[in-house]
């Protein structure tokens, strides 16, 4: 990439990572700390964790389309303002319903598709896979950082204080947005059935399902993981970072080894899904202590990091340039709808069948995903 392309990719990744940090920071602690709110049930814990996903899913396509029509920068500013308002609502919440409302508002600032389309606008086609992979890695790192900071900030400032910090992060992202160029694509199109058909090809739908399944598994798993850590006396909630930090380092090294040892994209893709499914089976079947928990969590994040980095480059490669905002919108909608479904169904399973059954659900989801991924065309990927 040129110096300008690297600088632009860095700014896009900073906005994306800052916002994702704000969305993910509650994951490692909320299911434990949620009892501080009124009217809490396991179902509403899952709903609060995943609520942002429903509004994200609903608004990604409109944001992506409007950014194609009116330009990326105005939509980024508007979306971050909504995210800020949602963070303030959650920070002032006294019951679980207000937290759900705040999380839903956070999600309504649905700018992920706009950011990815913006990146594609300013990076050459040859360098685009590198740029998308770079942003994907930053998102993975933001999630990892959220796992480290969440327990520490939650212990020091409580859930309310965490949401205030998240609101501050949205202001940081807004500052970065002001440094981006103001430009809109030349080509225009109507939001018609014919244009939707162009982004609902078999190849794109397979990738849309992939990101749906990945974030469904992620959200469901993090209803159970924080509780398992505490209930099995592995670590106290404020010390969770002590297991997440080494897991993060080792999982990134593992991801790099997988990516370099297996050069073919399809091989890396299928292997990562297999490792993800295996980790869920182990969570379901294993007696958990520090060692087993550490190993299983490392396997989980090796697979998650690899898939999170790989999928954006595949969607950018597959989508046509003139419908990229719309295609990214549908892809991002699938991602966040997966987070919503994972939170709601995971919470429902926890409420009705017990916490361990959540991992049975995620295991079956990963197996179905792996079977669908087998149909990827080797020559294309």
Does residue 158 register a pLDDT over 60? yes
Q: Where are the alpha helices (DSSP H) in the chain?
A: 3-24, 30-33, 42-70, 72-91, 96-108, 112-122, 128-177, 193-198, 202-231, 241-261, 265-285, 290-318, 324-353, 357-373
pTM over 0.95: no
- As a whole number of angstroms, the distance between CA 207 and CA 363 comes to 19
Mean pLDDT along residues 84-88 = 95
For residue 187, what pLDDT band results from cuts at 50, 70 and 90? low
Does residue 244 register a pLDDT over 70? yes
For residue 288, what pLDDT band results from cuts at 50, 70 and 90? confident
Ramachandran sector of residue 39 (left: φ over 0; alpha: ψ -120 to 50; beta: rest): left
- As a whole number of angstroms, the distance between CA 296 and CA 311 comes to 23
- Which of 82-96, 133-147, 284-298 has the largest mean confidence? 82-96
Higher pLDDT, 357 or 116: 357
Structure letter (DSSP) for residue 168: H
Neighbours of 164 (CB within 10 A): 16
Does residue 269 register a pLDDT over 80? yes
Mean pLDDT along residues 205-234 = 89
Does residue 57 register a pLDDT over 60? yes
Does residue 328 register a pLDDT over 60? yes
For residue 261, what pLDDT band results from cuts at 50, 70 and 90? low
Among 171-175, 262-266, 312-316, where is mean pLDDT lowest?
262-266
Mean pLDDT along residues 224-249 = 83
Higher pLDDT, 149 or 213: 213
Does residue 232 register a pLDDT over 90? no
pLDDT at residue 341, as a whole number: 93
Q: Is 19 exposed, middle or buried (0-12, 13-18, 19+ CB in 10 A)?
A: buried
In the three-class reduction of DSSP (H, G, I as helix; E, B as strand; rest coil), residue 223 is classed as helix
- Using CA atoms, how far residue 279 sits from 284, 298, 303, 322, in Å, is 9, 9, 9, 39
pLDDT at residue 183, as a whole number: 67
Between helix 128-177 and helix 241-261 the angle, nearest 10°, is: 150
For residue 260, what pLDDT band results from cuts at 50, 70 and 90? low
What's the pLDDT tens digit per position in 5-56?
A: 778 888 888 888 888 888 788 888 888 888 889 888 988 988 998 888 889 8
Does residue 379 register a pLDDT over 50? no
Does residue 371 register a pLDDT over 70? yes
| Chain mean pLDDT for the chain | 83
Angle at 105 between CA 99 and CA 106, to 5 degrees: 90
Does residue 317 register a pLDDT over 50? yes
Does residue 191 register a pLDDT over 80? no
Q: Is 293 exposed, middle or buried (0-12, 13-18, 19+ CB in 10 A)?
A: buried
């Amino acid at each position: 990439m040129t110096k300008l392309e690297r600088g632009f990719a860095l700014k896009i990744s900073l906005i994306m990572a800052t916002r994702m940090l704000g969305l993910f920071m509650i994951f490692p602690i909320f299911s434990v700390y949620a009892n501080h709110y009124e009217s809490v049930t396991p179902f509403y814990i899952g709903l609060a964790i995943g609520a942002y996903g429903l509004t994200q899913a609903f608004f990604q396509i409109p944001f992506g389309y409007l950014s194609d029509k009116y330009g990326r920068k105005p939509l980024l500013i508007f979306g971050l303002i909504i995210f800020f308002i949602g963070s303030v609502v959650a920070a002032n919440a006294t019951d679980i319903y207000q937290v759900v409302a705040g999380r839903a508002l956070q999600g309504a600032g649905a700018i992920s598709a706009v950011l990815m389309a913006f990146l594609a606008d300013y990076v050459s086609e040859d360098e685009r896979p590198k740029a998308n992979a770079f942003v994907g890695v930053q998102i993975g790192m933001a999630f990892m950082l959220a796992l480290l900071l969440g327990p520490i900030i939650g212990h020091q400032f409580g859930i309310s204080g965490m949401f205030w910090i998240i609101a501050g992060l949205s202001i940081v992202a807004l500052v970065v947005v002001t440094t981006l160029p103001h430009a809109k694509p030349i080509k225009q199109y109507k939001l018609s059935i014919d244009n939707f058909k162009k982004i609902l090809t078999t190849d794109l739908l397979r990738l849309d399902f992939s990101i749906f399944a990945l974030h469904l598994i992620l959200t469901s798993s993090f209803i159970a993981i924080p509780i398992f850590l505490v209930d099995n006396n592995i670590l106290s909630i404020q010390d969770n970072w002590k297991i997440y930090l080494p897991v993060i380092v080792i999982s990134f090294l593992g991801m790099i080894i997988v990516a370099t040892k297996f050069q073919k994209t399809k091989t890396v893709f299928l292997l990562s899904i297999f490792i993800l499914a295996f980790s869920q089976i182990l969570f379901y079947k294993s007696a958990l202590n520090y060692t087993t928990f550490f190993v299983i969590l490392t396997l989980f994040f090796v697979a998650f990091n690899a898939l999170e980095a790989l999928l954006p480059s595949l969607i950018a490669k597959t989508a046509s340039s003139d419908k990229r905002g719309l295609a990214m919108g549908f892809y991002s909608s699938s991602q966040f709808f997966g987070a919503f479904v994972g939170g709601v169904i995971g919470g429902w399973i926890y409420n009705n069948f017990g916490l361990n059954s959540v991992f049975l659900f995620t295991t079956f989801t990963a197996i179905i995903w792996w079977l669908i991924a087998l149909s990827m065309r080797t020559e294309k990927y």
